[in-house]
Amino acid sequence: MDGKGSAFWYGFDAITSIACGFLFVFSNYLPMILCFAMCIISCIFAFMFKPYEDPAKKEKLEENGNYIQYFKDLRTAFKNIFKSRRLKALFLFSGMFAALLALRSTVASSLFTEIGVKEEYFGVIFASLTMFSAIASKFQNIFHKALKNRVLTYFSMIFSISLIGIGLTSIFCKNFSIALSIILVFYALQYIIKGPYYTLIKRYLNSFSSPTMATKIYSVNTLIESSFSAVMCYIASRLLDFTTTTYTITILGCVFVIAFVFILDYMRDKIGLKPEEYDKKDINFTEVH
């Protein structure tokens, strides 16, 4: 269900990417105005969603007004989340991979500008690449079955190495057509990985948890992902003060490869085990006192 939803999301993203590229030529502010309008519409839809929590528990909470107890239970759940070695390893990986995705999104337009691609073609390029994510996201279960517990290893290493490939191609290949073709192949690989990744990481985070516990795990993971992304974007911005986008991508690609080697080694005995091989505190979570 999540994979199919993501596929639709990427499809709409591709359509708006095409529109944005051409609208930017007419007015720099028009895409931003339309983006703001979409944010407002999204907020309106968000208020129409039904609560994810158990209705019976929500009703009891509203009747008693015992929000102090609610927050105490929330603190207990968070403490137990961080006692799980399995979840801590997943949080670490998820945070680093979110930083990798944030870096790719941040520097992609800058790279295309640097190598001489016209702005009006940005939308077409990103729309085409996004369709790779849409297709791959719909068939995320194929990746899960084919790669099994090595899926995160393949995703992280291929993505990181492709960054290095993009940087080195931009630096050493002087033929515009050849360089752009190679770069687009590397970006296509990244978008193919990006599509199923979000669905699969949710699947792994959600394993062994109840519906109410899953929301708390997702909250912690979102906080960690945002923190890692913010730090990486800041580091990238500092590097861009001293060097070009191509060298920044190459340097950070090398950093990510090294970082993931250590992270994957740390995850080796904590992720992908059989249920009976896990310690109880790694998969059994207490939500209340």
121-158 pLDDT, tens digit each: 777 888 888 888 888 888 888 888 888 788 899 999 99
More confident site: 79 or 178: 178
- HSE of 189, CA atoms in CB hemisphere, 13 A: 18
User: What is the pLDDT of the chain when averaged over all its residues?
Assistant: 82
Average pLDDT over residues 240-252: 90
For residues 121-139, one letter each, b for 16 or more C-beta atoms within 10 angstroms of the residue's C-beta and e for the rest, the string is: ebbebbbbbbbbbbbbbbe
Residue 19 CB neighbour total at 10 angstroms:
15
Average pLDDT over residues 107-123: 83
Average pLDDT over residues 192-213: 82
What single-letter DSSP state applies at residue 28?
S
Average pLDDT over residues 151-175: 92
CB 195 within 8 A of CB 237: no
Residue 159 has a pLDDT of: 93
Residue 88 in this model has a pLDDT that exceeds 50: yes
Residue 59 has a pLDDT of: 47
Average pLDDT over residues 33-41: 91
More confident site: 64 or 133: 133
Residue 71 in this model has a pLDDT that exceeds 80: no
The band of 289, judged by pLDDT with boundaries at 50, 70 and 90, is very low
Residue 180 in this model has a pLDDT that exceeds 80: yes
From 172-181, 241-250, 270-279, the region with the lowest mean pLDDT: 270-279
Residue 282 has a pLDDT of: 57
Q: What pLDDT digit, counting tens, does each position of 254-287 carry?
A: 999 999 999 999 988 887 767 666 666 655 655 5
- pTM of the entire structure? 0.80
CB 100 within 8 A of CB 256: yes
Distance CA 276, CA 207 (A): 14
The band of 183, judged by pLDDT with boundaries at 50, 70 and 90, is very high
CB 216 within 8 A of CB 137: no
Distance CA 144, CA 137 (A): 11
The band of 225, judged by pLDDT with boundaries at 50, 70 and 90, is very high
CB 268 within 8 A of CB 60: no
The band of 214, judged by pLDDT with boundaries at 50, 70 and 90, is confident
Residue 42 in this model has a pLDDT that exceeds 70: yes
Residue 67 has a pLDDT of: 59
